[in-house]
Structure 1
Amino acid sequence: MTTVLDSLVQGYDRKTVIDSLDLTLRPGITALLGPNGAGKTTLLRTLATIMPPRSGTIRIDEVLIDSERTARTVRDRIGYLPQDFGFDPQMTVTDFVTYAAWLRGVSTTDLRRHVDQALAQVDLTDQRRSRMRKLSGGMRQRAGIAWAIVGQPRLVLLDEPTVGLDPRQRLHFRKIITGLSNTIVLLSTHLIDDVAATADRVVVLYAGAARFDGTVAELERMDCADLPGHTALERAYIHLLPEGEQRI
């Protein structure tokens, strides 16, 4: 499976947020870095087929997404976790994840197995009967991750998925996503250590354009010792920003 963006332009009203972006995603974990306003969330929403492109093309699993009809044909292959995801507070955790599996087209006979698997992956089996409104912030975030991965979608889009997770839970999250074999994972995050621990590839967005696209090791080699940052990867990321944004 591949996801291919060709000269993608996207925005809101008269504002262009993504400008002529070319990007090919293949199975593995791609980290999406960039400051607030760089276009990360807009890119994820576009790939999730929520927003049709202004121009350019998107192909998901070789399907050209050029209408609502073609978008519907690929949505069951996409798992998307927005940064602020909605839920019915009266739903149990099982109901919440089951609904995601149903939307993804999981068959009735396989539904329970896929839901159980997703809950086990995020360590929520013991809370399966809890109401969503009663979960802690970290548990709710893990339920959201279960929503995104249930049914084994082939494209998983995660927008700041470790927000609200404690260090142990973040380690568990890393184990989850590194175990998603044959899956394209696009992970938008501000946490450089999550990138270093999980990503096969890094794309740095700034003002809707890719300033860097390569491996973690290739990005680290751009380390600039006189810039702020605790690690080579942090300093290399800062180095890619315009000079006026490099100082803290």
Structure 2
Amino acid sequence: MSVVLDELAQGYATSTVIENLSVTLRPGITALLGPNGAGKTTLLRTLATIMPPRNGRIRIDDVEIDGERSARKVRDRIGYLPQDFGFDPRMRVADFVTYAAWMRGVPSSQWRRFVDETLEMVDLTDRRRSRMRSLSGGMRQRAGIAWAVVGRPRVVLLDEPTVGLDPRQRLQFRKIIAGLDDTIVVLSTHLIDDVAAVCDRVIVLHGGTARFDGPVDELAALGHDGLPGHSPLERAYMRLLPEGEQLL
């Protein structure tokens, strides 16, 4: 399983957000770091086949995504959780996750097994019959994570997935993500400690380009005591930003 971006350019109207980005993703957990506006969400939307590339190429396994027809061939392999995901507030939690399984092409004979398994993973088994509107913010976020991983998609894309989770729930999230074997996981986050805890690789985006792409420990090694930050990884991240943005 692989996802290949070759000189990808992406943007909105006359604005270019990503420019000439070449990346190959393989199974493991990759963090996307970068300030607001760096292109993290745009990249995830492109990987999810919501936005066709403006220029360059994207290939998922053996399928080059060049339009809606090719995108449909791979969408059942992708689980995507946007930062602000929509839901029918009247829908029950189990139905919400079942709907995701249906959209992903999971056979109906396997819906119950996958939904039960996934609700247990996110600690929502006892709320399976609750309406989505009755959930707390943290519970809704966990339901969204269940939406993204039900059916065991080959690619899981998560945009700020730990927003609204308390410390215990964040630890549970890390356990869930670490258990996604043989899966390409791309995690956009501002929380450096989540990166240090579960990620194998970091891509730092700024100005539409990758300022860094490599293992977490290699990024941490770039930090030094003269930079702002409370850990080597934070200091290394700040080092990659322009001087005027090196503020905590």
Q: 1:42 corresponds to which letter in structure 2?
A: T
Q: How far does residue 167 in structure 1 lie from its aligned partner after superposition?
A: 0.1
| Counterpart in the other structure of 2:122 | 122
Q: Kindly indicate whether the alpha-carbon contact (under 8 Å) linking 1:89 and 1:132 is maintained by their aligned counterparts in 2.
A: yes
SS of residue matched to 1:52: coil
Secondary structure at the counterpart of residue 45 of structure 1 = helix
Other-structure match for 1:149: 149
Runs of 4+ in structure 1 deviating by more than 2 angstroms, as ranges, are none
Amino acid at match of 2:44: L
- Alignment of 1:73 with 2:73, yes or no, is yes
> Which string of whole-angstrom CA distances, capped at 9 and with x for unpartnered residues, describes residues 14-44 of structure 1?
0000001001000000000000000000000
Deviation at 1:106, TM superposition (A): 0.3
Q: Equivalents in 2 of 1:82, 1:110: separation in Å?
A: 25
Give the drift of 1:174. Answer: 0.1
Residue 247 of structure 1: how far off its partner (Å)? 2.9
Q: TM-score, normalised by structure 2?
A: 0.99
Structural RMSD (CA): 0.5
**Unpaired stretches in structure 1, ≥5 consecutive residues:** none
Deviations 1:55-76 (Å, cap 9, x if unpaired)? Answer: 1000011210011001000000
CA drift of 1:84 comes to 0.2
1:218 maps to 218
- The aligned counterpart of 2:172 is 172
Q: Does 1:229 align with 2:239?
A: no
User: 2: distance between equivalents of 1:104 and 1:186?
Assistant: 18
State the distance in 2 between where 1:61 and 1:157 align: 16
Q: Structure 2: which amino acid aligns with 1:114? A: F
Whether 2:23 is the aligned partner of 1:23: answer: yes
Amino acid paired to 2:229: G
SS in 2 for 1:105: coil
Any residues of structure 2 matched to 1:71-110 within 5 Å, and which? 71-110=71-110
Query: What amino acid does structure 2 have at the position aligned with 1:182?
Result: D
Superposed CA offset, 1:116-160 (max 9, x none): 111111010000000000000000000000000000000000000
Paired with 1:112 and 1:68, the residues of 2 have a C-alpha distance of: 30
CA distance in 2, matches of 1:217, 1:244: 25
Q: Secondary structure at the match of 1:190?
A: coil
Q: Secondary structure at the match of 1:173?
A: helix
2:192 counterpart residue number = 192
CA distance in 2, matches of 1:121, 1:207: 36
